Amino acid sequence: MDSRPTVEVCFTPNLYPLHFDGSDIIVVIDVLRATSAICAGLSNGVEKIIPVATIEEAIEYRQKGYIVAAERKGKVVEGFNLGNSPSSWLNKELVGKTVVLTTTNGTQAIHTARRCKHMVIGSLINLDALVTYLHEKKKNVMLLGSGWRNKFCLEDTICAGAIAEGLLATGDFRSEEDSTIASKYLYLSARDNYLGYLKASSHRRRLRDLNLNEDIKYCLTPNTVDVVPIYKDGIITA
Amino acid sequence: MDSRPTVEVCFTPNLYPLHFDGSDIIVVIDVLRATSAICAGLSNGVEKIIPVATIEEAIEYRQKGYIVAAERKGKVVEGFNLGNSPSSWLNKELVGKTVVLTTTNGTQAIHTARRCKHMVIGSLINLDALVTYLHEKKKNVMLLGSGWRNKFCLEDTICAGAIAEGLLATGDFRSEEDSTIASKYLYLSARDNYLGYLKASSHRRRLRDLNLNEDIKYCLTPNTVDVVPIYKDGIITA
């Protein structure tokens, strides 16, 4: 009997009930762009992020005077000043502040896993910091992709594959699911050229049409920040 | 506006409602081993195959005198003479006969898609015949993997990627979904060595433990048969 902790990939939030078996740590991933923005923001000095699932909740917070970021279909929602473009989260005016965030996919994935024991936020920009953190914990890990409206999404899967490979390569973790093997294979063939590999991906296409190429480049560049955002009782902090 | 027909991949039956948008042709894939057995059987001269979802239905048919194949968890179900090992479907005694079939995953996937306009059966052993058939039809195609109890499964995805690549390479089809891009990438890195690539896959491990290595090799060898099984009104014929 192999007693090493497991690392497994769940592609999308709708598959969470099928995969969840009491995993100790859930890593929520939304590379383009919610979890990259969260990592960028906390690394910039944002104090707290409150993820909410709906625009209605976001409006309530705005009425109470909070800074609120809201994105749907790749765009800042009308009436809000901030979306999920990581560059906008690097603004110095956000240092020390609490920001409320709602996005099309990422905050939905956080919402799905909200009752788990321990949730952290993953992206390519905090890849090594996260792998080091998870390796030290030596607990069962589930890597949860946000997908696009519950459909499989390539960049989240590649990021999950990168985290899985980082842990499996130490020899201290094991995996059993085909979703994990596939994510690892996809990461291994993507890692030398993320931008080229993702050229045809539906999400990248969607963002490119919105002139968000700079955002894409930022989100696909590994290890530019050193934070591991942790979700607890409805709040994300570094 | 690109008016070419689409080819898209749906990994597992539970995702069918999310992906189905009126696709003209559904290809059901269960490489290990239901759809490989169906292709082998029809190629051998079996006249008709009646797929049923439950053991109860299988027992009813047996009581009526039918030849019935039943598999669960990789093994022939107790009380039945035939399972889904393709080699057993090559038996000359089955020529000209009708065979009823129920399996853990493959017949469930057929059941899921039973109300579609046009269903065909795919595997690696009939890959080229199937690609030629689909190319001639020039209709929207969905490639439906059977998975393992609704979890993503590597060999079905690689087979779906092989079919997708075969159609996309002609330039007469297009795809939009990331699931299709990922399947294609996985196929392209697997195709030179299916056995090695799938070494760690959960399903292969499961069958190897049951001493089914010969079956695995047979199912992973492309283009050994020339049939395109078609499902219509509850019956599969060549």
A177 min Cα distance to partner chain B (Å): 6
Task: Report the distance separating Cα B63 and Cα B57, nearest Å.
Answer: 10
Residue B178 to residue A19, Cβ atoms within 8 A: no
Residues sharing a CB contact under 8 Å with residue A91, sequence separation 6 or more, in sequence order: A44
Q: Which amino acid is at A84?
A: N
Q: Which of B148, B177, B186 sits opposite A186 (nearest CB)?
A: B186
Is the CB of residue A184 less than 8 Å away from at least one CB of chain B? no
Sort out which chain B residues have CB atoms less than 8 A from A202's CB and list them.
176-178
Is the CB of residue B88 less than 8 Å away from at least one CB of chain A? no
Is the CB of residue A18 less than 8 Å away from at least one CB of chain B? yes
A179 min Cα distance to partner chain B (Å): 6
If we measure between CA atoms, which residue out of A203, A114, A214, A95 comes closest to residue A158?
A203
Residue to mutate among A143, A152, A174, A179, with most B CBs inside 10 A, is A152
Which residue's structure tokens are 């082998």? B40
CB A202 within 8 Å of CB B176:
yes
What are the Cα distances from residue A44, in Å, to A11, A37, A39, A93? 29, 10, 8, 10
Q: Which residues of B65-83 are buried (b: 16+ CB within 10 A; e: fewer)?
A: eebbbbbeebebbeebebb
What homologous superfamily does CATH list for A7-230?
ComB-like (3.90.1560.10)
From first to last of its 238 residues, what are the pLDDT tens digits of chain B? Answer: 789 999 999 999 999 999 998 889 999 999 999 999 999 999 999 999 999 999 999 999 999 999 999 999 889 999 998 999 999 999 999 999 999 999 999 999 999 999 999 999 999 999 999 999 999 999 999 999 999 999 999 999 999 999 999 999 999 999 999 999 999 999 999 999 998 888 878 777 777 777 788 999 999 999 999 999 999 999 999 9
Fold held by B7-229: putative 2-phosphosulfolactate phosphatase (3.90.1560)
A71 min Cα distance to partner chain B (Å): 21
Is the CB of residue A11 less than 8 Å away from at least one CB of chain B? yes
The tokens for A17 are 């009930």
Is the CB of residue B186 less than 8 Å away from at least one CB of chain A? yes
Q: Which of B15, B152, B178 sits opposite A182 (nearest CB)?
A: B152
Which residues of chain A fall short of a pLDDT of 70? none
Sort out which chain A residues have CB atoms less than 8 A from B8's CB and list them.
none
- What local confidence, expressed as pLDDT, does residue A1 receive? 75
- What local confidence, expressed as pLDDT, does residue B170 receive? 98
First to last CA, chain A: 36
Q: What is the pTM of this model?
A: 0.95
Q: Which of B152, B154, B178 sits opposite A201 (nearest CB)?
A: B178
Task: Report the distance separating Cα A227 and Cα A43, nearest Å.
Answer: 6
What's the angle, vertex CA B199, arms to CA B195 and CA B205, rounded to 5? 115
Residues 199-218 of B with CB under 8 A from A: 200-203
The tokens for B62 are 């047996």
DSSP B195-227: HHHTTT-HHHHHHHHTT-HHHHHHHTS--S---
CB B152 within 8 Å of CB B163:
no
The tokens for A193 are 């050229």
Sort out which chain B residues have CB atoms less than 8 A from A185's CB and list them.
186, 189, 197
- What local confidence, expressed as pLDDT, does residue B213 receive? 86
Q: Is A122 helix (H, G, I), strand (E, B) or coil?
A: strand
ipTM beyond cut 0.90:
yes
Sort out which chain A residues have CB atoms less than 8 A from B178's CB and list them.
148, 151-154, 157, 201-203
- What local confidence, expressed as pLDDT, does residue A229 receive? 98
Which residue's structure tokens are 């069958």? B207
Sort out which chain A residues have CB atoms less than 8 A from B189's CB and list them.
185, 189
